[in-house]
Amino acid sequence: MLMEDARERIVVFGKRIATEGLAVGTSGNLSEYDPVTGLMAISPSGLGYFETTPQDVVVLRLDGSIVEGSRRPSSEAPLHAEVYRRRPAARAVVHTHSPYATTLAALGEPIRAVHFTIADSGAEEVPLSPYVTFGTPELAASVGTTFGEHPHVNAVLMENHGLIACGPSMDVAFGLAVNLEFVSRIQWQAECVGTPRVLSGEEVTGVSKRFETYGQPAGRKA
């Protein structure tokens, strides 16, 4: 079975999307990419996370041609492919409909530096991409443009839709999606009470530098 380890991780982390409240029902999707073979493994369309097996995960090329798998791939396969094109270092992409990030997306707001851990995203703000119908080439192009306009950020908020995050591994990409949901919640709660203080670019850069020496030598993630 092609990309067996990646397909198994997609099943495991798909269940976490459901159990950690990052999506409802069959919404959301996740993938991994192997630049050596040029193949992407992605979750199947419309299949529950607890129903999905590694055999259900579809392997395809970035142009959308299916290499292995009997299921229909996620409708957002073009979006995932575009992220890999825009972020050559990315090996995993996670797309969620998490409540607080999606609330900000519905308000037409980016995720701002209301908490220092936004530095995980690679920038001081997670930008907002304009609304485009889900599962379309136009959405992929729009989000790709937003990534292109913000070359250091590893996540984009999609207006009235949700969040897409990427990273060098599934663990990192998923962790970023979880963390940005936390930051989104802080932003929303603070805005309900008043006007939150937003960290400056210099302050976020300082956090990024501190992150370089945080945690154990194998990596910052706990």
Q: Which residues are catalytic?
A: 76
Helices 77-86 & 137-149 angle (0-180, nearest 10): 20
Q: Which residues contact 106 (CB under 8 A, 6 or more apart)?
A: 159, 160
Burial degree of 15 (CB within 10 A; 0-12, 13-18, 19+): middle
d(CA 130, CA 126): 13
Determine contact, residues 44/71, Cβ cutoff 8 Å.
Answer: yes
User: Per the structure block, which two tokens stand in for 47?
Assistant: 């299949």
Residue with tokens 């607080």: 100
